[in-house]
């Protein structure tokens, strides 16, 4: 395996983790390799792709959702997505990587002002028009308008998609007020689910998931960018387990099998949550 610099610490990433990982979700023709940093233990793609846009044809997270999805989100995503604390009734929250804006819609009555960011300009404009709130797709405009003014940034299942973790944390630090909070949710590459399913673990989501930040790498990023890691926990998120079981049965993701496995996955994830972790960091 060739060497590639670590996205967090810059040390060589040359220890194989998983190789020849195909796209078992959207079934694009791309196949990628993952290695692990021998210094901070970050698992990341080797090499890190320069452009990931080609990995997202008709990405489901960018599609408008039916009403039933809102109910499913409340049941299945309850421990994953940030529940706004009471002091945000007069505060500001940015949902970074907001997709169709479903999360913003669910919390807007509990937060003083909500904002979204979605790099796909069409998706951002549709979400903004539907919700009547600002949803940015240009980072420079976002920074100009929200610099040092946001109380909470929520980044649910975002960091694993980005190709520059240093730049992402720099942006979070520039948007947040002093004392503001960053809530991050990421797949846990070292979970029992990931070990059990290997290349067929849905949380791998090759090639779209570029890296898998964990406690060590997030602590390093926090210190480098003026944050303090406050809390970390495993979250109940049955979707990944159900999708992994569906992939095992069908050889690739299949929605019918995914729905069939949700009840079992909800039970197992509740007993032994492992595949998803959430972290809260506070800006100094």
Question: For the chain, which residues make up each domain, given as ranges?
Answer: 63-283
pLDDT band at residue 179, thresholds of 50, 70 and 90? very high
Alpha helices in the chain (DSSP H): 67-76, 102-107, 121-131, 139-146, 165-175, 192-197, 215-224, 238-250, 255-271
Q: Does domain 63-283 have CATH number 1.10.10.10?
A: no
The residues with which 45 forms a beta bridge, in sequence order, are 34
Cα gap 84→146, rounded to integer Å: 19
* Average pLDDT, integer, range 174-198: 97
* Predicted pLDDT of residue 60: 63
Tens digit of each residue's pLDDT (9 = 90 or more) over 131-160: 999 999 999 999 999 999 999 999 999 999
Cα gap 142→1, rounded to integer Å: 39
104 C-beta neighbours (distance < 10 Å), count: 24
| 271 Cβ contact partners less than 8 Å away, ≥ 6 residues apart | none
- Contact of 59 with 26, CB cutoff 8 Å: yes
* Predicted pLDDT of residue 79: 72
* Predicted pLDDT of residue 57: 79
Token pair of 111 as six digits: 């937060």
Question: Which residue's structure tokens are 């002093």?
Answer: 178
* Average pLDDT, integer, range 254-259: 92
Token pair of 251 as six digits: 């050889």
pLDDT band at residue 32, thresholds of 50, 70 and 90? very high
* Predicted pLDDT of residue 65: 53
* Average pLDDT, integer, range 108-112: 93
Average per-residue pLDDT for the chain = 91
């Amino acid at each position: 395996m060739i060497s590639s610099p670590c996205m967090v610490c810059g040390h060589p990433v040359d220890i194989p983790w998983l190789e020849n990982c195909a796209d078992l979700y959207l079934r694009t023709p791309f196949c990628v390799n993952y290695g692990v940093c021998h210094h901070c233990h970050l698992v990341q793609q080797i090499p890190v792709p320069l452009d990931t846009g080609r990995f997202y044809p008709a990405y489901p997270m960018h599609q408008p959702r039916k009403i039933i999805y809102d109910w499913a989100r409340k049941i299945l995503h309850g421990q994953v997505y940030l529940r706004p604390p009471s002091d945000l009734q007069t505060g500001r929250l940015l949902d970074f990587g907001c997709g169709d804006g479903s999360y913003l819609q669910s919390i807007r009555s509990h937060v003083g002002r909500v904002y979204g960011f979605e790099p796909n300009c069409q998706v951002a404009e549709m979400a903004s028009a539907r919700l009547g709130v600002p949803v940015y797709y240009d980072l420079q405009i976002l920074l100009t308008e929200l610099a040092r003014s946001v109380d909470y940034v929520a980044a649910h299942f975002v960091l694993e998609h980005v190709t520059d973790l240093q730049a992402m944390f720099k942006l979070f630090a520039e948007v947040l007020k002093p004392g503001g909070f960053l809530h991050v949710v990421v797949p846990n590459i070292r979970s029992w689910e990931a070990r059990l399913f290997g290349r067929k673990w849905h949380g791998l989501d090759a090639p779209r998931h570029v890296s898998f930040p964990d406690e060590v790498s997030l602590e390093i990023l926090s210190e480098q960018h003026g944050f303090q890691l406050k809390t970390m926990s495993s979250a109940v998120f049955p979707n990944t387990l159900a999708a992994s079981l569906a992939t095992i049965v069908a050889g690739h993701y299949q929605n019918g099998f995914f729905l069939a496995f949700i009840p079992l996955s909800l039970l197992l994830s509740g007993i032994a949550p492992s595949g998803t972790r959430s972290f809260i960091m506070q800006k100094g």
